[in-house]
Amino acid sequence: MIVILNKNITKKQKSSIISFLENKGLKVKEIIGQEDTILGAVGTSGLDIREVAQLEGVSSVVPISKPYKLASRELKKEDTIVQVGNVKIGGNRIAIMAGPCAVESEEQIMSIAKEVRDSGAVILRGGAFKPRTSPYSFQGLKEEGLKYLRKAGDTYGMPVTTEVVSPSDVEMMTKYIDMFQIGARNMQNFELLKAVGATGMPVLLKRGISATIEEWLMAAEYLMASGTDQIVLCERGIRTYETATRNTLDVSAIPVAQKLTHLPVIGDPSHATGIRALVNPMSLAIIASGASGLIVEVHNHPEEALSDGAQSLYPSQFEKLMRDIQTMAPVVGKSLERIPRIIPTTIKDGEIVQDKIDSLKISFQGERGAFSELACRRTFDENCKVIPLKEFSDVFESVMKRESDYGVIPIENTLGGTINDNIDNLINYPDITVVGEQHIRVIHNLIVIPGTKIEDIKKVYSHPQGLAQCDKYLKSKLSSAEIVPFFDTAGAVAFIKKQNDPSLAAIAGAPAAAYHNMEILEAGIESHPSNYTRFYVISRSERIAEFVSASKINKASMVFSVTHQAGSLFEALAILSEFGLNMKKLESRPIEGKPWEYSFFVETELNDKDNFEKACEKMKTTCSSFRVLGKFHSTN
């Protein structure tokens, strides 16, 4: 049952309710939501819910209809975020686990760990105990393999996961791993599930080869009832009549499971297909379905692999897959999980710095729930403190005054073009530098007071760009409504909530609706689906190295001015061509106090850092003024 507590409940009342439920033989879990605090109570007790409803401090009691109680979305509406070492799985993240099917030697796992880490994997996988169909096949290196796996994970800053096959190995394995993996063959090995769940550690639970989705979730319920709520579900293909592939990938199971449970769901394209050439396209299908990640087999010499070589990617194929996922991520409203998200210069690469990440202050322009706040959350972490500010220049001032550690500012929209104010701000704040980039797909929604019907709406509020980008919808569905420009999309949602008038609606993103507890009447109402905004991450100059390692930098932005002579701009731009720097963007901006004179903003790819430095030196001697605004990592 779900016990919804009064908002003003005292600690004594809550403790009394929990004691009452536990004395009745029920397992109790407290869940604190945005609006309510609830208690999930599960077990075999025949307790009448009317007894609970009468307890002091109880608002209401709702029975859970699903056989899986703790795993049910009925118990917990919000997505669970699973923490594995310094990696988070779930929510708006795409976490990639990669490594060989089996750990074969120390040299092998160390080499593959480096390859997958460099390409962007955040968790290292590798089997030490291998349940095989044939008793004569390679069964794994067992504890020796765990030691190699742990060493590789520590060396390259990745948490590690591996399969457990026997309850007797559970305690020993806790010394070496960060996440247990329950294989398809063991999904209904209930004694193993109990033993693993009792550790409280994260668990990757694969779907059984012939299991229904409900049976899969009931296996998760065993783990949760035994003591862990850190569970990631994994769709890895099911057995059907088809023999062209190793298994049949049930992509539809991913959104179905996500609707039924709050636990994150990932996919295993390697075991689902059994064919190397199919892994990349099926990986993209899994991501497109809304999965929170992948677990992929990668081997540096798959033709020599002791297990599953035919389905293991070469490192170069995995690297391409990661680039494809980076491109797809904004389309599905997610971003790739990275470790560590911030790399302080005072620690070694790979150390956990969660306290530092949680204490970060990130400023943005707009109201809470704005697309800019979403860019902050995608770039950093749900736990970072966000500071909403009124103007773009306020963000720069906040970073300059050290009131915020980083700022996130929009720089370009695919439909609206360049945000010139922020180019001017970058020019006018010489101690601020660009350290990163984030892409957000802009999905507009019609947002109303809960219970409002579309025929009730008389006025629609939003930023002028938001209104323009939803012009077709407004003309076809709300042609009689008054269109009212507002300073900010998320601010429009805050305004109509304050008015509490069902005749008012706003156009904004889903985060604004969630933050203000409003209803999305219609989603995705923008006229053009290819609507993206590109954001810059800015910081003070001394923090450049903290955000991204130098090896990941692949793009730069700069500003320069030239003499008022024929060919002077051509001469400056020719330097970029001379040193093989591909220009991605060129904008002119008027120079304040110098009528009809302009500075030029340029973005360029940065594939050869030595050539870039040489080009900069030559630009300094050719241009009237020249400054690098930032060097950063771009996903495109």
Q: What pLDDT is stored for residue 35 in this prediction?
A: 62
| CA 366 – CA 535 distance, rounded (Å) | 14
Alpha helices in 238-391 (DSSP H): 253-260, 269-273, 276-288, 315-328, 354-358, 371-379
Alpha helices in 289-419 (DSSP H): 315-328, 354-358, 371-379, 392-400
Global pTM reads 0.74
**DSSP 8-state assignment for residue 227:** T
Cis check: omega of the bond before 315, within 30 degrees of 0: no
Q: What pLDDT is stored for residue 350 in this prediction?
A: 38
Burial of 326 (0-12, 13-18, 19+ CB in 10 A): middle
Residues of the chain below pLDDT 50: 341-357
| CA 98 – CA 561 distance, rounded (Å) | 47
Distances (CA, A) of 111 to 122, 140, 279, 307, 370: 15, 18, 21, 17, 43
Distance of CA 136 to the CA centre of its chain: 42
Q: Pick the closest to residue 400 from 378, 365, 425 (CA basis).
A: 425
Rounded-to-10 torsion of CA 277, 281, 282, 286: 150
Q: What pLDDT is stored for residue 366 in this prediction?
A: 92
Instruction: Catalogue all structural domains in the chain, each as residue range(s) with its CATH number.
Output: 2-62 (3.30.70.1140), 82-336 (3.20.20.70), 445-523 (3.40.190.10), 548-636 (3.30.70.260)
Please compute, for residue 139, the number of CA atoms within 13 A of its CA located in the half-sphere on the CB side.
6
According to the 3-state scheme, what is the secondary structure of 484-545? EECCCHHHHHHHHHHHCCCCEEEEECHHHHHHCCCEEEEECCCCCCCCEEEEEEEEEHHHHH
From the CB of residue 335, how many other CB atoms can be counted at a distance below 10 Å?
A: 21
Rounded-to-10 torsion of CA 60, 61, 65, 68: 120
Q: What pLDDT is stored for residue 195 in this prediction?
A: 97
Token pair 């579900």: residue: 233
Among positive and negative, which fits the CA dihedral 199, 204, 206, 212? Answer: positive
Written as one letter, the residue type at 124 is: L
Among positive and negative, which fits the CA dihedral 268, 269, 273, 274? Answer: negative
Q: What pLDDT is stored for residue 544 in this prediction?
A: 66
Residue 631 near residue 549 (C-beta atoms within 8 A): no
Residue 489 near residue 443 (C-beta atoms within 8 A): no
Distance of CA 476 to the CA centre of its chain: 35
Residue 85 near residue 352 (C-beta atoms within 8 A): yes
Rg value, the chain, Cα: 27
**DSSP 8-state assignment for residue 186:** G
| CA 182 – CA 563 distance, rounded (Å) | 67
